[in-house]
Structure 1
């Protein structure tokens, strides 16, 4: 299922105003059963572009989900800041790999979660001084602009003892951590483990995962999207019962990230 077919990749270089376009969620109804999903070009292993195809765990899950619900997918690829802007202005319908937070719930309505994200941090291979969250106090930590991992880290740093620096792309953060310009990189723990394993990134993951968040599909709060979410939640339940979500999680992460950590500990 890693090879995704039957969709269009659209690259947004410049965001222009859409004539007559109102808030998000109407794009799908105007184009019948086509759903526009925003993603970045290199969010491996959630989604990434290779040979003009969108691949990755979230790509596989969402292709299967919308197919099950009777919709077609159109991928809209840009940087993360552009993805967020497109969602707010209605140029896309939803976003892949989007953590469901109280702040975001004030803006959007969400499907049921399709996986659970846990934050973690990576350090240089020769760094033996950072082994836990407590060791990050007084350190410089890189974060991708607009990601929710900065907020998760702040939740675990009530006294603001960690210096967080935001970057536009993860590749520069990884380079700066490896070279010693930054002490650590906060991101999805399971994502970084997969990147290190399959892309020879010169970092290592230390400490346990923390700050588990639901990852769901956001939509503008409209009556049409409320109906759409009902369809998607039913399709999502079917994929869970059929074992599709479990199998995709094992394929990409070697562990089932589609169930909550609390469920696995019961």
Structure 2
């Protein structure tokens, strides 16, 4: 198979890092995007270390006889996805370095502050909307342009949705509104991409164990006003799901999928 190229946004931590590692292990080359360069370089170093390990071979008797480490399959491209110029620069660099784009994992996002609705400032509302929705749109638009124009034509976009694309948590109006909107983004991309072999799907994730969800083990606010701990799942299970979606032929698509901690309060929430 020809080399496959993916852009992962929010690749420095959490779900984004786990997905980048999983795709790299499957042989993908990656553009790692995110606001902060340092965690992106940490992800790239983890990828390079994994790619460079020999399997099924003993140690070399002389260091000079050891093969050169494999070049990293990951390019670090710090990007603020809320900035149209930065997004354009990201995808221009991907085109220059790799020549094409096969996958966008549209992952960058934020919960925002869990505050009562009446206390949510317009500034905080806009910060969540700008990152979760406008940033996702800008990246999808740039990826769409590249996939439409390249030869062979086509590619895949996977949007990171959320359980909150279906049901809200208390005090999460900005996050919930954006994740419902991401579902509309996914549907429109799927329809508009049909003539150009551009597939689009959405993965709705519930309680993956990352730094962002660390507080769930001590307790989060429930719909009835209680604070209670919630179970989490290994983020690697999310990454394997993305890998499966990504490796389907473009003639097949997982339109919507939900992967979540089995006993989290989703069915019956509220």
**Greater C-alpha radius of gyration:** 2
More helix by share: 2
Given the two structures, how large is their TM-score scaled by the length of structure 1?
Answer: 0.29
TM-score with structure 2 setting the length: 0.28
